[in-house]
Amino acid sequence: MTSPLVEILSAQAAETEKQGRPTAKSLQAAREAGAFALPDRTATEAAQLLTEMARGCPSTSWIAGTSLTGKTFSRRALGDVIGPDTLVAGSGTPGGRGERAFGGVRVTGRWANVSGCEDAEWAGLAVLIDGTLSWALFPLRDLRVEHTWSAVGMRGTGSHTLVAEDVLVPVEREAPLDFAELAGDMVLFGLTALAPVVGATLGALDLITAMFASDRKPYMSAYASMGESPAARTWRAEAIALARRAERTMLALAAAGPGDHGLDMSGAARDCRAAMDLMLDLHGASGFAESNPLQRHWRDVAVASRHPHINAFLAVNRL
């Protein structure tokens, strides 16, 4: 049985993808669930909520996760200057440069792939100020959104490009960014990418469970239902085992705290991709119909699981 939050987000997921950003109903449901106040929760609680959200809509979950990352950066650099229930977009890539001016810093730059930027109230962005890596906090009204996000998955994240043109950032909203102070948060940042992937996989399993409960039967077989087929049951069992292993790994990492867990995180992401392949085998070619939500979960998992925080190739490269 799914929760009311999952049901709302699931009902809105197709429209979220179509319009390239969460619907008003999705944002309201996420806010009421506390998804934009995650810095006040433990890593385990944050991962669990992001996973639950992604069962219904991976894109909305992803935006909540990136907001958590942006707020954490801002807290470490500037303190508690943002409201606890505020949606924040952000980028840790120094796409802009700042020059000291009266009252603060004047910033010009471009930051690509800023998830949720059309709905966020604030943007936290990395900036080079006099050669120093810094963090600056901008009201979204001071920035321009260039609609550059066009991907096969996570389409509803609206991960467009933000542009600053000689924007004055007051001194209280900019500070040097010390990644050493963020070392203890790196596992949390990884979880904000992994939890939506795990949740999307579990959401796909919900769809497969519903299919097994329907009158669908294996094509060109004597079985009267999917559940009667030993092969179908085996495929489903293997998909469940992989998805649950990914979820257990995620929760174990959340509880473990700081450390070099890149291989474990990327391993969980690969388990999710393997589970999705098994589920698509079960659904056959019809699983790729645009009207079938299974293919949306598959695309979202395929794209999100390649994020640098959980990309297997990059995890091995860091050894």
Q: What is the pLDDT of residues 148-162, one digit of tens each?
A: 999 999 999 999 999
- The closest of 208, 281, 283 to 240, measured between CA atoms, is 208
What CA–CA distance (Å, rounded) separates 28 from 26? 5
Examine the pLDDT at 316 and tell me if it is beyond 80: yes
Nearest one of 154, 180, 192 to 69, comparing CA atoms: 192
pLDDT of residue 36 exceeding 80, the answer is yes
Q: Using pLDDT thresholds of 50, 70 and 90, give the confidence band for residue 260.
A: confident
Would you place residue 107 in the very low, low, confident or very high pLDDT band (cuts 50, 70, 90)? Answer: very high
Q: Report d(CA 64, CA 10) in Å as an integer.
A: 16
Confidence at residue 257, expressed as pLDDT on a 0 to 100 scale: 84
Sheet holding 122-129, edge to edge: 144-146, 160-170, 104-114, 88-101, 122-129, 132-139, 174-176
Within 13 Å, how many C-alpha atoms sit on residue 233's CB side? Answer: 6
Beta strands of the chain (E only): which ranges?
88-101, 104-114, 122-129, 132-139, 144-146, 160-170, 174-176
Residue 286 dihedral angles phi and psi, to the nearest 5°: -65, -20
pLDDT at 18 over 90: yes
pLDDT in tens, 282-304: 999 999 999 999 999 999 999 99
The pLDDT score that the predictor gives to residue 141 is: 97
Rounded Cα distance, 88 and 81, in Å: 12
Q: What percent of the chain has pLDDT over 70?
A: 100
The mean pLDDT value of the chain amounts to 95
Q: What is the mean pLDDT of residues 255-266?
A: 90
In the chain, the N- to C-terminal Cα span, in Å, equals: 41
Q: Is the pLDDT of residue 95 over 90?
A: yes
pLDDT over threshold 90, residue 34: yes
pLDDT tens digits, 306-315? 999 999 888 8
Residue 238 has pLDDT above 80, yes or no: yes
To 10 degrees, the CA torsion angle through 20, 24, 27, 32? -170
Hey, what are 51's tokens?
């996973």
